[in-house]
């Protein structure tokens, strides 16, 4: 039986101090986090002149993220740039 990602995130969240891990919003890491949220990651590493695939690859080098979440966040980042 497997559990949802929310179960595992809650389990880790309860033990952050024991594990000496860090949490910022929904990001959990065993090293200090320099990003506040997912959009902050995109603003930091993406470039408008790159293709969607290249930008998503850059983001995936920084954080573990599914392809669908990465693609949705990329579209949100592009929409914000147009504003």
Please write the tens of the pLDDT for every residue from 13-67: 888 889 898 888 778 888 888 888 889 999 999 999 999 999 999 999 988 888 9
pTM of the model: 0.74
In order of 8, 9, 27, 34, 80, the CA distances from 12 in angstroms are: 6, 5, 11, 19, 32
Give the domain ranges of the chain. Answer: 1-32, 34-83
Please report how the helices 67-82 and 52-62 are oriented relative to each other, as an axis angle in degrees rounded to 10: 110
Please, are residues 41 and 35 in contact by the beta-carbon 8 Å criterion?
Answer: yes
């Amino acid at each position: 039986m497997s559990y949802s990602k929310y179960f595992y995130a809650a389990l880790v969240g309860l033990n952050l101090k024991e594990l000496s891990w860090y949490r910022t919003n929904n990001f959990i890491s065993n090293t200090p986090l320099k990003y506040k949220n997912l959009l902050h990651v995109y603003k930091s590493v993406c470039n408008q002149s790159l293709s969607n695939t290249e930008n998503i690859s850059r983001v995936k080098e920084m954080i573990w993220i599914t392809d669908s979440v990465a693609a949705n966040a990329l579209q949100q980042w592009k929409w914000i740039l147009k504003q």
